[in-house]
Amino acid sequence: MIDRRGRERFRTCTLLLAALALVVPATRAEDATDKPREWKLSTAVGPAFALGGAGERWARLIAERSGGKLAVKLYPGATLAHRDPAREFLALRDGAADLAVGSTLFWSAQVAELNVIGLPWLVPDFKALEALVVGTMKERLDAAIERAGAVPLAFAALQFREIATTTTDARSSADFAGLGIRIAPLPSLTDLFLALGALPRSMAFADAQAAFKAGTLGAQEGPPVSISTARLDALGIRHVLLWGAVAEVAVFAMNRATWDALTDLDRGLVRDAAQQVARELPALARAENDAAIGDLRKRGVTVTRLTGSGRAAFALAARGAYDKWAAVAGPDVVGAAETAIKRAAP
């Protein structure tokens, strides 16, 4: 039997254990609260590319300006969107990503108005491309992204997609008749090349390598940096035509729920950081483009730029694709874009 003194000792120990049970979980909960949640930032490419580098710099600026309170981790290669850039906006909207720096071309799958940027031969040069992300046009694109479920923070002119070929320096639509072309898996690109009489195909790079070697694939579209980095000259690419068919703009955006949970001060911090990087990105993208073209020429690839009359001829041949996707983007936003480009003309 336990005597009186033993019972008192046992009661004291029980009370101490009960008190500790209350204190320890509370301390752990406090530690967990103090630790900042790490935001996920998605980009389709890695930091070695201008777009991926912009995402990396945005993440770094947010962390620095918040004193580490807002932590951001970069997820390149569209890993948060099943490695599919065309699903990146969905990942952002639905919360798989908190932040993203994406391309209007790929996000246009979910934000119809963004198709205006990539209309065939709408945008003649970088100056005109920059005119599409300011003023009234910016307001229209902001509103479209808001309606689609995300928070737009900044835009930046990014690049043009060119065409690389193996056996011919294609300069007219007649040169595309029956030509097998590897393209990004987007309906708008498929319609563009079908309008030119080509045979557009979406395939993995390993399959493309075999197709180039077998001669069943004769061309690939994409920005010069992608053409150069993939070393397509080793697969028989001999010509690159700078034809400026399709333009891309970079979009800096945030998940709606993540944005709504922020204080006004933190919202301003995140937006200001995005806008700073967006101001820096066009110059970096153009430098990347020029360096890629220089590398291709050094490796024996012939690089030519399409003339104004050549652009007009291609645009006429692809007018059916233009009209189809202009209807998707909407006549109001297309009309505003055409007006902005005319005003930007020298």
Q: What is the pLDDT of residue 170?
A: 85
Q: What is the pLDDT of residue 168?
A: 78
Q: What is the pLDDT of residue 115?
A: 98
pTM (2 decimals)?
Answer: 0.89
Task: Annotate 162-196 with b (16+ C-beta within 10 A) or e (fewer).
Answer: bbbbbeeebbebebbeebbbbbbebebbbbbbebb
Within 10 angstroms of residue 107's Cβ, the number of other Cβ atoms is: 28
Within 10 angstroms of residue 39's Cβ, the number of other Cβ atoms is: 19
Within 10 angstroms of residue 60's Cβ, the number of other Cβ atoms is: 14
Please choose, from the candidates 337, 319, 338, 331, the residue with its C-alpha nearest in 3D space to the C-alpha of residue 191.
319
Q: Which residues contact 161 (CB under 8 A, 6 or more apart)?
A: 105, 221, 222, 223, 245, 246, 247, 248
Q: Check if the beta carbon of residue 204 is closer than 8 Å to that of residue 181.
A: no
Q: Average pLDDT of each block of 10 consecutive residues along the chain (346 residues)?
A: 48 42 40 67 98 98 96 98 97 98 98 98 96 96 98 98 91 92 97 97 95 95 96 95 97 98 98 98 97 97 95 97 98 97 91
CATH class belonging to 35-344 = alpha beta
Instruction: Report the amino acid identity of residue 73.
Output: K
Summarize pLDDT for 92-125 with one digit per residue, the tens.
999 999 999 999 999 999 999 999 999 999 999 9
Strands (E), the chain: 38-43, 71-75, 99-103, 150-165, 180-182, 199-201, 219-222, 239-255, 302-305
Q: What is the pLDDT of residue 28?
A: 40
Q: Which residue has the tokens 């020429």?
A: 297
Q: What is the pLDDT of residue 36?
A: 65
Structure tokens at 295: 């590398």
Summarize pLDDT for 16-33 with one digit per residue, the tens.
334 434 443 443 433 444
Q: What is the pLDDT of residue 167?
A: 85
Q: Which residues contact 4 (CB under 8 A, 6 or more apart)?
A: none
Q: What is the pLDDT of residue 47?
A: 97
Q: What is the pLDDT of residue 35?
A: 59
